[in-house]
Structure 1
Amino acid sequence: MSQSFVPVPENSDFPLENLPYAVFSTENNKVHRICVAIGEHVLDLKAVSQLFPFQVQKSLQAETLNELMGLDFEAWDVVRSQTQKLLTKGSELDHNVDLKAVSIVPQSEIKLHLPAQIGDYTDFYSSIHHATNVGIMFRGPDNALMPNWRHLPVGYHGRASSVVVSGTPIRRPLGQTFPDGAEKPVFGACKLLDFELEMAFFIGGKGNQLGEPIRVDEAWKNVFGFTLMNDWSARDIQKWEYVPLGPFTAKNLGTTISPWVVPTAALKPFVLDNFPQEPEVLPYLRQNIPFNFDINLEVSLKPADQNEALISKSNFKHLYWTPLQQIAHHTVTGCNLRPGDLMASGTISGETPDSYGSLLELCWKGTKTLELPGGKTRKFLQDFDEVIIRGHCEKNGLRIGFGECVGQVLPAHPVPQ
């Protein structure tokens, strides 16, 4: 492995083989710039853009990743290769003391922002274990999966305007619910607030024209990179409103993503066979290339004034539907995707209770209690609880991390009179 001239601590999420993208600013320079993470620092790509081929320089000088995302996969490879070269010991940048001083910035001195302007956001429902668990809770084991679930990637269009970067607080929503035993709906603060452990990817490439589907085995050209996600959910609001048209205000209160976008190329050493699918899917969804990844995921819960406690350990590999199938199904109607669109996995749960990706499952619809250190217990999230999602891949001494996806619950606004 090549070594960077920037120190990379042992077990860092951000070695030279990773280089996740983000958008940052500093106290002395409020302009948003694109960077990559290396160890405990970032490389300001705008500051070194003149060291890249001319055709990609403009995209590296932008204030979001959209323009870089809008280039093709060959251009992404050029940027990644040159970035690794510049950060390697003995490189042109390593020997340029002045440029190094302005382009290598400690992460402790930066503020991170949403990595892209998100035009559209789609949330899928791609974990068979999660879908089965929820189905058992509400319909029983004989009807756990809806008849369509194994035939197509179920999803819904989310609210892009309420996607926020890690660290942004989430306000407990107000809404309409129908409590068990009630005679009519009531209005008030959500009582059953939940997290959802998810991952998401950003659409890149030239996208597709309206009316032109993307073929499943060509869809990899449109996957720019992956990020961690927490899709906050108001379960009591959702239960009352979701029939017949599905998620609405129970899902639009906020969706948190990590600031770091790990390029697909960094995940190649961790590719796995796709999840087995039975029955065979229709031809437009038949995927001939592996596009599944061994990404370890974990969720910790931190009540106010308490240490965080690990409450779930899952893995991306549990997803039944792949990102390529999600793109193929999303566009089979001719729906046009654009650079910066966000596609989420849905809750990622494993087979065992310690791998469930939501409190709805961990506490089995409130019938079980989650024990936390210090005598604390939870069935759903309380005000000032903080949810921390982390992820990493590890193999043969190589670790590729995704950083953190963090959000704290704030109390609801007073109920309007």
Structure 2
Amino acid sequence: MAEQTMTVAGGGIGGLALGIALRRTGMPVTVIERTASVRDVGAGLVLYPNALHALAEIDTSLASAVLAAGHVPETDEVRPIVDTGGAVISTDRVGELARRFGAPQVSLLRTTLQSLLLRYAADAGVRMRHGIGVTGYRDLGDEVEVGLSDGNSTTTAALIGADGLHSVVRRYLLGADVPRYCGYTTLRGRSPAPPEFPHGFIVTADGIGVFAAPIGSGRLYWTAKVAAPAGTWTAKPPKQAWADLLALMTGWHPAIVDVVRRTDPDAPVVVTDINDREPVTGWSRGRVSLLGDAAHPMSPGAGQGAGMALEDAAVLGGLLSRIADIPEALRGYAKQRAPRTALVVNQSRHRDHVVRGERGEFSTHDGELTDLFGWRAVFGLAAE
């Protein structure tokens, strides 16, 4: 039988990274993505040292391109942790991460990262199928038959579900289960950096917290966490949610409020209820496996959603390049990754608990974020 392609369901960060990793070893890869194109939304993200190590494992030039596309802190750069009046309580010494963990952090827009991954995937020869989704599969033992949303099907040597929180592949593999609401909603946007906080800030108050980080060219991306029942904020039109967030920030330091007030009108505020799931171990069966949020969705408490997906891609790509027996490689991948990702899911929950407090309210904390909650274990582990 001729060599079959590997199929990845989902063309997000993890799915594209896996496609690149597999192509670097010569494997034919098809990535199936249900959306027609990359949307330019206001969400940014921070990739921490472990994510940069994983990117370098996949493709060193890709890792360099990501660093060049975002904001990498200078060695003495700090991100202030402030109260709502703007007084500095503590600092997050972000510039020290490179020395401590062998790679820096980089903050950038999600669409910037996604566009880079798409470009490198195309250059590597990954076949992309946009505007079509995976609807189910049958593992036939020596191949997998994959159902597609256009009514057709395809066969593949293996199917990797990188199709997010509401993964179709996960539902077929592990059964239907309801995600766990984490107790808060995020609102996200981007805006000019104020002179008072050129490197961003972290501020928390009762029921609300705002994080901002630079993305280059004098701009920040910001994320607000608001404690509320599920569906409260997502039911609002984005402009109304933005206005209501500003109302919650009444009386805060003007520069902090202006970061939200001056949000780029061409990139609407993104509003998302935050969910995760209980960690599981058996997410590889036969010739089917999961990756990223499909396998281990987590809250943004530890800032590791993208990082864990990149680590997954590096580990799985490496195992599939070394182990000819695909089911064995997939089992080894899940066995290796499950303890690591469970730790980070729980670290994220712990961080959420500390921020929200016992009554579901955000409260000011002190201490350096790079030292709290086991950050050394999270940031310092490269994908190996």
Q: TM-score range, shorter-chain basis?
A: under 0.3
Q: Which has the higher helix share?
A: 2
TM-score, normalised by the number of residues in structure 1: 0.23
TM-score, normalised by the number of residues in structure 2: 0.24
Which of structures 1 and 2 has the bigger CA Rg?
1
